[in-house]
Structures are given as C-alpha cells and as structure tokens.
Structure 1
Amino acid sequence: MKSFFSIVFCTLAISACQPDAIDTQALITEPSYDACLSQNGQLALVSTAHSGI
C-alpha cells in the first residue's frame, strides 16, 4: 500500500511541474464528424469534434 501512495505522489508531483502552454490553436473552425460501420452492419461508431465518441 505504501508503494501505491508513493507512485500516486510521484505522478502528481511530476504533472504539477509542467509549464503552461505558450500558444494554442484550434485545429478546426467548423463542426466536423466521422462515422464508421462494422463489417456486418450491426455496429456504428460516430465521432464529433466537440463531443468525442
């Protein structure tokens, strides 16, 4: 149990040391989506830029 807390503490310490982003840019300006059907047509996967999968 002690090693678990050590791993969690180290992970939080490392992630807290990350600098802020200097510049961010939007990759898309208009809504976009993608869709895919399984080979047998029973399953569909739809992904949008704003809501993910």
Structure 2
Amino acid sequence: MGRRGSRTPGIGANAFDPEAVGALLAAKQRGADKPGSILVADLATAEALARTPA
C-alpha cells in the first residue's frame, strides 16, 4: 500500500508505452506538466528515458 495520504497508492505504468503513461496520468488526474516518478534498474535505462527526439 502507498504512503499515508496518497490518493492513488500502488499504481504504475510502463514508461516506454505512451498509451499506458497517458492512462496513468488520467487515473491520477495529472497533466503532462506534472509527471510521476520513474524507477529504473540501471543507468542505461535512465539515459534511454532521458533522451528527447531530435
């Protein structure tokens, strides 16, 4: 269970799936301007997520 006071404890999505991220933001009633946290296993994954399209 999530921390005390959390409105949507234990919810997550695949950060590489735009549709899943959109559904997560909708479920948490957040816009893209207030994204959630991303947990990663290693630096290579963090770097892949941090890249922006050219």
| The two structures share one fold, judged by TM-score above 0.5 | no
Question: Which of these two proteins has the greater Rg computed from alpha carbons?
Answer: 1
TM-score by length of 2: 0.24
TM-score by length of 1: 0.25
Larger % of strand: which? 1
Larger % of helix: which? 2
